[in-house]
Structure 1
């Protein structure tokens, strides 16, 4: 079951009022990296209610408002508006599932009709449209067929899931640059940021749920100081 939140620890310069960097676990790092795998339509769906800048939202709404009569019979609006996404990449518990409405589950249909010589229920004809006509008996194919998913690779003991390894802690910069964390790199960064008063530094643990994820996504498209804008504004 996917987690509902992940967390990371911010190091804040209270004098400069900025986030210097964040300390993050594997789950949080996977969470941020997998945002890159989100289809554009899912991103627009999340951001359009937040006042998205640009014209892609208009394209999205055009599909929403398009009458079904103009759409190919074997297609639905959700094909474009809610494209399928692997919520648990390689068995990861990254909570991408909570970021947007789940795409409509694809349904398949077979013929449950009969003719004088055989039962079409046992023939290998399947359609994704309940209006399709069986080529054998000319009956409408309205009998639901249950889809069976292949075995999940999450069952493999050798795979801890996700994208990055969990043996180290990761450093996430204010501009979302990510790198493995070390004591030396932390000291070098404090010097780079010209931090003179260590007493002005403050740690803050933040949880990332759906609301924070949307804010991070929006800020990442507009700012170079994402963590500061989201958590200190």
Structure 2
């Protein structure tokens, strides 16, 4: 997964020096949806020392906190490495496949009426520890005998659709009318100042996008414009 790359097509206004919007396929649209499923603890871990504000400080302080201060049915790992509820092998995930594969859930071995993600948790029905390990099935899991129609394409959004991603990460289906409307909205006087650029999008770009989304409202410009060579003026 680390080497997975997808293409993102940008419409750049060279005069205003900004990305107006991007055209993307299902994979990158899925990635943006996937970001919403990430727990705050995971975001803090992914960005480490690069976080804006105090969330990184909180993460580091909990990391250094002794287990002595934790409740008997809790552990620091559940806070420092929380489990994202969604996985899909078709998008460039920020989390490794191992993190998803190692996920475990537990049932009460006596009443089978509750489920937990921590074997230290006590069943509220019978007051016994929930130690019976069972498989964890996600929306993208493919079981034997499951039809393709039932499983779907995987991910979040439908394929065979081109999606428009705005500089502020607004996501919507692409259409010719919406593109023309946007050019008017951005007050583009001369279309010759516009240029189409294709960039690679993988895990490295995904982390940068996540960080920028917490810092500014011109995410695509912030992440990609610095890596785009300025257009040479004709003599």
* 1:172 alignment partner, SS class: strand
2:72 aligned with 1:81, yes or no? Answer: no
Residues 169 and 2 of structure 1: is their aligned pair in 2 closer, same or farther, counting only changes over 3 Å? farther
Residues 100 and 92 of structure 1: is their aligned pair in 2 closer, same or farther, counting only changes over 3 Å? closer
For 1:150 and 1:221, locate their aligned partners in 2 and report how far apart those are by CA, in whole Å. Answer: 31
Report the equivalent of 1:96: 93
2:54 aligned with 1:17, yes or no? Answer: no
Report the equivalent of 1:179: 172
TM-score, normalised by the number of residues in structure 1: 0.73
TM-score, normalised by the number of residues in structure 2: 0.73
Tell me by how many angstroms 1:10 deviates.
Answer: 0.4
2:220 aligned with 1:227, yes or no? Answer: yes
Report the equivalent of 1:162: 155
Contact 2:104 2:135 (C-alpha < 8 Å) held by counterparts: no
Contact 1:5 1:95 (C-alpha < 8 Å) held by counterparts: yes
Contact 1:29 1:170 (C-alpha < 8 Å) held by counterparts: yes
Structure 2 residue runs of 5 or longer lacking an equivalent are 111-117, 121-130, 227-235
* Equivalent pairs, count: 205
Structure 1 residue runs of 5 or longer lacking an equivalent are 109-122, 130-143
* 1:21 alignment partner, SS class: strand
Report the equivalent of 1:138: none
Task: After TM superposition, list the pairs within 5 Å mapping 1:78-227 onto structure 2.
Answer: 78-88=77-87, 93-98=90-95, 102=99, 105-106=103-104, 128=119, 147-150=134-137, 153-154=141-142, 155-158=146-149, 159-227=152-220
The alignment yields a C-alpha RMSD, in angstroms, of 3.4
Higher Rg: 1
Tell me by how many angstroms 1:217 deviates.
Answer: 1.3
